[in-house]
Amino acid sequence: MAAESKYKELHVITGGGGYPGFCLGKELIKRGHRVRLIDIREPVWDLLDGMEFVKGDVRQMTDINTAFIGADIVYHLASFGMSGRDQLNKKLIEEINIGGTTNVIKGCYDNNIERLVFTSTYNVVYGGTEIINGDESLPYLQDDKFTDHYSKTKRLAEEKIISVNNTETKDGKKLHCCALRLAGVYGPGEQRHIPRIVSLLEQGIVKFIYGAADSRVDFLHVDNLAQCHALAGEALTQSKHFKAAGQVYFVSDGKPINNFEFFRPLFEDLGYSYPSIRLPFLLIFYCALVIEIIHSVIGKIYNFQPLLTRTEVYKTGVTHYFSIKKAQDELGYSPTKQNDLSEVVQLYRQMGRVKSKRKSYFSLSGIILNVVLFIVIFSMIMSYLPYVK
């Protein structure tokens, strides 16, 4: 007789080589499950006991089926185009976010997997218009309201995931699905947003803030992300009466805060002055538009990282936050950390990323920003002069 496994179930995480996926994997290990990560890039962190990595691409069905063999549940975190220059690569965004999601669903059907948790985003309903304590009854954003392709494809992927809830797998089992709409994720080891901010600080580029001083947005600590995903997976089981099946949930720390105030500890504890200049929101928005245009023309030649995109300006400068009551009531979600950057700051201090006394170095991005600001401000002045009498 074969020895009984010490693990409860096998949980598969697409995008498991990334920061959120790997942190979710650690949480699932704590809960007694075996974890299989699939990604095109290996994790930079050491695998835990009970965790395995499969190098694979969600665009390839052979890779999907290899990773999904024997799985009890799939957490679909793999995506592309969330920020920076990646937002401008429409072809790859569609291949991964739409095509990859289609493959993940097919992989669940072919391997008789009965649970699928999709990682979505606030941006499926938010497009720059103020939202205060929004909930899951809000309609999807329409195509002409999106300022980036990532958000549009995430909406299409979420709609597809929810539409296949309760459909039959290859052997006639039922596939139960739900979606978690996440706020901006942070935590020690996050590799996308915070390193970019610290790099801009080191280049001396972050000299101003924008948007209304009382604007507020949500953030999501990675520990809370992992908790809510694990709870959502459990809420798709019969023992939980399939409570989450066919549902969507907003997930955040549950404590809205001004975007720039959130990052104040990062500025000050690394030795940088918190910006005292506040520029008009529309000025920065049109600067971002010009930067996107410049990137579309010369980005492939110089391979520079856009300082801001229009979507990033919307997400950081306009009030939009959502209630987590549904996730609390139906999933038992309870944030353990709220707007807590202490571990992040400690990590960067340990890395020696504290401001040195030497002058900040120049960068192509800094030069472009100054040129763009000059062009936009000059254009605004010139457009105003005809009305001056």
With CA atoms as reference, report the closest residue to 345 among 269, 263, 260, 258. Answer: 269
Please check whether residue 312 is in contact with residue 285, taking contact to mean a CB–CB distance below 8 angstroms: no
* Domain 10-188+218-255+320-337 homologous superfamily, CATH: NAD(P)-binding Rossmann-like Domain (3.40.50.720)
Higher pLDDT, 381 or 44: 44
Catalogue the active-site residues.
150
Across the strands, what pairs with 73?
11
- Any idea where the domains of the chain sit in the sequence? 10-188+218-255+320-337
Residue pLDDT, tens place only, 194-210 = 998 898 888 888 888 99
For the record, the structure tokens of 71 come out as 């799985």
Q: How far is Cα 121 from Cα 117, in angstroms, rounded to an integer?
A: 13
Predicted pLDDT of residue 64: 98
Reading the block at residue 358, the tokens are: 């030497």
> Positive or negative, the Cα torsion across 65, 69, 74, 80?
negative
Lowest mean pLDDT among 45-59, 79-93, 210-224, 267-281: 79-93
In the structure encoding, which two tokens stand for residue 174, read together? 């039922």
Average pLDDT over residues 276-292: 88
Three-state SS at 302 = helix
Average pLDDT over residues 122-137: 96
CA 147 – CA 92 distance, rounded (Å): 17
pLDDT over 90 (residue 122): yes
Element (DSSP H or E) covering residue 13 = strand 10-14
**Burial tier of 105 (Cβ tally within 10 Å: 0-12, 13-18, 19+):** buried
Locus of tokens 């472009």: 368
More confident residue, 379 or 272: 272
Q: pLDDT tens digit string along 144-178?
A: 999 889 999 999 999 999 999 999 999 999 999 99
Q: What is the pLDDT of residue 369?
A: 55
* 4 pLDDT tier (thresholds 50, 70, 90): low
Quick one: CA torsion of 173, 179, 180, 181, rounded to 10 degrees?
Answer: 170
pLDDT digits (tens, 9 = 90+) for 14-45: 999 999 999 999 999 999 999 999 999 999 99
Q: Is the pLDDT of residue 138 over 90?
A: yes
3-state DSSP call for residue 157? helix
What is the C-alpha separation between 220 and 225, in angstroms, rounded? 7
pLDDT digit string, tens, across residues 312-366? 899 999 999 999 999 999 999 999 999 999 999 999 999 999 987 644 444 555 5
Question: For the stretch 299-323, what's the b/e string if a residue is b when 16 or more beta carbons lie within 10 angstroms of its beta carbon?
Answer: beeeebbbbbbbbbbbbbbbbbbbe
Q: How many CB atoms lie within 10 A of CB 161?
A: 24
Phi and psi torsions of 179, nearest 5°: -130, 140
Kindly state the DSSP code that residue 83 receives in the 8-state scheme.
S
> Mean pLDDT of all residues in the chain?
89
pTM of the model: 0.89
Evaluate if residue 89 carries a pLDDT over 80. Answer: yes
- Dihedral sign of CA atoms 91, 180, 82, 137 in order: positive
pLDDT reported for residue 299: 64
